[in-house]
């Protein structure tokens, strides 16, 4: 098992943890339905950039 040679300082631990922050999700509003969705993703209704990409309505 690997063992470190010396203790990591608080500064080094903090520098490593500086990239662990969670980002806010960027939401867009669909032009047709007005529904909010993730950027570059289609809405739950199947619309993307105002066009119906995939018909998700149940038969």
pLDDT recorded at residue 6 = 96
Whether 42 maps to a domain, the answer reads yes
- How many structural domains does the chain have? 1
> Side-chain half-sphere of 4: how many Cα atoms within 13 Å?
4
pLDDT recorded at residue 8 = 95
Whether 44 maps to a domain, the answer reads yes
Whether 33 maps to a domain, the answer reads yes
Q: How confident is the model at residue 31 (pLDDT cuts 50, 70, 90)?
A: confident
Q: Which residues contact 29 (CB under 8 A, 6 or more apart)?
A: 35, 36, 37
Q: How far is CA 36 from CA 15, 43, 45, in A?
A: 35, 7, 11
Range of the domain at 38: 24-59
Q: Which residues contact 2 (CB under 8 A, 6 or more apart)?
A: none
Whether 16 maps to a domain, the answer reads no
pLDDT recorded at residue 10 = 98
Whether 40 maps to a domain, the answer reads yes
Whether 1 maps to a domain, the answer reads no
């Amino acid at each position: 098992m690997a063992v470190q040679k010396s203790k990591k300082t608080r500064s080094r631990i903090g520098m490593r943890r500086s990239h662990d922050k969670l980002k806010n999700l960027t939401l867009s509003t669909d032009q047709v339905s007005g529904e909010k969705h993730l950027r570059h993703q289609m809405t739950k209704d199947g619309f993307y950039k105002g066009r119906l990409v995939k018909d998700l309505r149940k038969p």
